[in-house]
């Protein structure tokens, strides 16, 4: 038995029907005004005749029932009109005739010259043609017609441009809110906590909001007050927007969604007007949720009285939001949820109790969270028997929920290109490597010399990676171009890494130097292939000195440059030029010491570097465990897909 349900016929969209009705009204009005305004004094399809042509037709007896019509007398013009037999003939030369066989007649018009009317009338009388006299004047004078036409055009302008285009998103609707209303009760648009994975702590923290929206009387009975605003903080792709939708779906309340950039406009005061209109609409739908994505675009710290330009207009929008969230007007039942990945740039007045008085941190998922996210997104994907999502989860620390969803999608697309029936483990690993380090460019043509230089370069990195005790395990080495690099040495940590030590950074500095040292030692030349290594080593050393306080010279001090987004009063005191030169010298010392240690290690393991380079020229790509076994530097057994982040290098 068929279990299909008949879908109801689609109803016409109200906006499209209203737009069609408006166009019909406009078209009819335009036609009406042009009909009455300056009507052509002649009849349609009238032949204009000169005096000579008219007398010729009169002599030939073709003129029938002439009529003198006084048209447009205000302009002093008088016409003689009537019908005459046509001179046209068909292709055989026979005169044109109608269906009754009578000659075809056409209308004519000839202007009467003042002073010659008497002779013309006499000629018509002699030919026994009775002349009728009619006067046809326009029902309204030209002045009245001009006034009516101008008024009609003004009415059309008001109707079309002001009323019709002044609505939501219209030309004159700048002050209207652009928030999209999603009905939390609609099943097709419903998102619940079951659709959100990897953020268990955050879900627990927002349960109170859902409970309040469902049963507000329970909280008010004991004098409790639900937070008016909840700020979701976390890196991009961690599920902040999805969690907000889940709150609305669980509570089954209306959900207004808008981005911070939707309040920005070229006209002054538009952002504040849209903010007021949005809260006014939300109050009508209370209890409800307002979700503002990327709130940092309108909630940035105010820069003071001297601010000019766009910053002052953004402050107007921010001030309006502050008043709407916690001002004199009651705002019961409207909960504001906002998302940002830059909480340090938000104004302090926005974060005080009574406004965004609760911050929910949504961080990158842990190993357990990554397994849940992969399982959630993998429900629609067909996996092979060897596919192990938990193994992929161990190899992807630092991945956000969006990254994991993208990984599975890439694996599915690769499987389709390979014409596989299911996504196997090899394809999953290939997709993981593509997301991390870029796709292999096997078709990139480069010379044998370039391949040799790349092999020496990556061998230097790989040997130092194996020798370093505090660095992440070696994952893979390849001299096949991947992304924008000619070769790649990949490393993955063994577990989720939340903290890094000074020893780790010192080992990373030495590993960065390994490629350039191997090139110089075995080819006698240096190449541009170390550009990324140099930038990475400089960045690590500068952070050790300026951010992490890992310098022996400066110790427990911070020398970070002030953020361009920070308020003037929040800027740290600037350090002197002498201190700046000392920082540069300390950074240079860290890098030079790491270079010397790396050069010594490679010299002591020269044979291992040569063996690995020759093997890479033959095989092009080698697994980390294969490299360790080849050169005799095996570590304790760890899963191949140990974990990402922090120590991977892509050269």
- Active-site residue numbers? 458
* CA distances from residue 383 to 92, 375, 415 in whole angstroms, order as listed: 82, 11, 10
* CA distances from residue 88 to 84, 92, 93, 104, 418 in whole angstroms, order as listed: 12, 11, 9, 9, 76
Rounded Cα gap, residues 153 and 33, in angstroms: 9
Whether 264 contacts 309, CB under 8 Å = no
Q: Report residue 135 CA to chain centroid gap.
A: 68
Rounded Cα gap, residues 567 and 571, in angstroms: 7
3-class state of residue 132 by DSSP: strand
Whether 199 contacts 239, CB under 8 Å = yes
Q: Which helix (H) or strand (E) holds 293?
A: strand 288-293
Q: Which residues pair with 361 in a beta bridge?
A: 233
Exposed/middle/buried for 563, CB within 10 Å: 0-12, 13-18, 19+?
A: middle
Spell out where 194-254 has E strands. 229-233
Nearest to 243 by CA among 199, 288, 190: 199
Whether 262 contacts 274, CB under 8 Å = yes
Spell out where 76-174 has E strands. 79-85, 105-111, 132-136
CB neighbour list of residue 354: distance below 8 Å, 6 or more residues apart: 228, 325, 326
C-alpha distance across the termini of the chain, in Å: 61
Rounded Cα gap, residues 131 and 365, in angstroms: 100
Nearest to 183 by CA among 135, 252, 233: 252
DSSP type of residue 298: T
Q: Which residues pair with 490 in a beta bridge?
A: 476
Rounded Cα gap, residues 550 and 547, in angstroms: 8
Interaxial angle between packed helices 502-523 and 577-604, expressed in degrees from 0 to 180 and rounded to the nearest 10: 60
3-class state of residue 361 by DSSP: strand
* CA distances from residue 544 to 73, 491, 492, 508 in whole angstroms, order as listed: 97, 21, 21, 12
- Antiparallel, parallel or unpaired: β 488-491 and 474-478: antiparallel
* CA distances from residue 266 to 171, 309, 435 in whole angstroms, order as listed: 13, 11, 39
Whether 233 contacts 159, CB under 8 Å = no
- Antiparallel, parallel or unpaired: β 105-111 and 46-49: parallel
Interaxial angle between packed helices 502-523 and 448-467, expressed in degrees from 0 to 180 and rounded to the nearest 10: 150
Which pairs from 128-131 meet CB under 8 Å and 24+ separation? 129/63, 129/65, 129/66, 130/65, 131/66, 131/67, 131/68
């Amino acid at each position: 038995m068929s279990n299909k349900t008949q879908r109801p016929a689609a109803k016409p969209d109200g906006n499209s029907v209203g737009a069609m009705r408006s166009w019909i009204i406009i078209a009819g009005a335009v036609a009406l005004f042009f009909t009455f305004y300056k009507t052509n004094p002649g009849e349609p399809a009238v032949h204009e005749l000169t005096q000579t042509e008219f007398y010729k037709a009169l002599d030939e007896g073709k003129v029938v029932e002439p009529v003198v019509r006084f048209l447009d007398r205000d302009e002093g013009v008088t016409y003689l009109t009537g019908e005459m037999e046509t001179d046209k003939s068909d292709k055989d030369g026979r005169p044109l005739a109608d269906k009754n066989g009578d000659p075809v007649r056409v209308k004519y018009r000839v202007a009467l010259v003042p002073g010659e009317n008497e002779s013309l009338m006499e000629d018509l009388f002699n030919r026994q043609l009775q002349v009728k006299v009619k006067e046809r004047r326009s029902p309204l004078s030209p002045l009245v017609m001009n006034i009516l036409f101008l008024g009609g055009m003004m009415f059309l302008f008001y109707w079309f441009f002001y009323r019709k285009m002044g609505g939501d998103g219209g030309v004159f609707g700048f002050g209207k809110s652009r928030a999209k209303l999603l009905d939390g009760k609609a099943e097709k648009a419903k998102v619940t906590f079951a659709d959100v994975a990897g953020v268990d702590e955050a879900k627990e923290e927002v349960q109170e909001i859902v409970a309040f929206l469902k049963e507000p009387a329970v909280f008010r009975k004991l004098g409790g007050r639900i937070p008016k605003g909840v700020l979701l903080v976390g890196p991009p792709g961690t599920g902040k927007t999805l969690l907000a939708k889940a709150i609305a779906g669980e509570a089954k309340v209306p959900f207004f969604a808008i981005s911070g950039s939707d309040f920005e406009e070229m006209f002054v005061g538009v952002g504040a007007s849209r903010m007021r209109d949005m809260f006014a609409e939300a109050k009508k739908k209370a209890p409800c949720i307002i979700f503002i994505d990327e709130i940092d675009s309108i909630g940035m710290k105010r820069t003071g009285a001297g601010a000019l330009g766009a910053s002052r207009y953004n402050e107007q929008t921010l001030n309006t939001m502050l008043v709407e969230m916690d001002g004199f007007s009651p705002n019961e039942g409207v909960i504001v949820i906002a998302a940002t990945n830059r909480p340090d740039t938000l104004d302090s007045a926005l974060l005080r109790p009574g406004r965004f008085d609760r911050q929910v941190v949504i961080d990158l998922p842990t190993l357990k969270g990554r397994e849940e996210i992969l399982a959630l997104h993998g429900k629609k994907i067909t996996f092979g028997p060897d596919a192990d999502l938990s193994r992929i989860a161990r190899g992807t620390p630092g991945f956000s929920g969006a990254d994991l969803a993208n990984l599975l999608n890439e694996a599915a697309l690769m499987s389709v290109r390979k014409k596989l029936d299911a996504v196997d483990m090899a394809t999953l690993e290939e997709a993981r490597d593509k997301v991390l380090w870029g796709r292999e460019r096997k078709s990139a043509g480069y010379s044998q010399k370039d391949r040799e230089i790349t092999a020496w370069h990556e061998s230097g990195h790989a040997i130092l990676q194996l020798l370093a005790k505090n660095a992440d395990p070696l994952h893979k080495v390849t001299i096949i171009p991947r992304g924008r690099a000619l070769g790649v040495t990949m490393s993955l940590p063994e577990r989720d890494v939340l903290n890094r030590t000074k020893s780790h950074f010192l080992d990373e500095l030495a590993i960065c130097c390994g490629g350039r040292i191997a090139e110089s030692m075995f080819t006698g030349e240096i190449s541009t292939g170390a550009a990324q290594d140099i930038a990475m080593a400089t960045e690590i050393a500068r952070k050790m000195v300026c951010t992490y306080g890992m310098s022996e010279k400066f110790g427990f001090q911070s020398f970070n440059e002030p953020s361009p987004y920070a308020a003037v009063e929040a800027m740290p005191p600037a350090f002197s030029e002498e201190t700046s030169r000392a920082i540069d010298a300390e950074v240079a010392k860290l890098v030079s010491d790491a270079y010397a240690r790396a050069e010594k290690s490679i010299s002591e393991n020269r044979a291992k570097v040569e063996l690995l380079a020759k093997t890479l020229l033959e095989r092009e790509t080698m697994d980390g465990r294969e490299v360790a076994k080849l050169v005799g530097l095996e570590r304790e057994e760890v899963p191949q897909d140990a974990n990402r982040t922090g120590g991977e290098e892509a050269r």
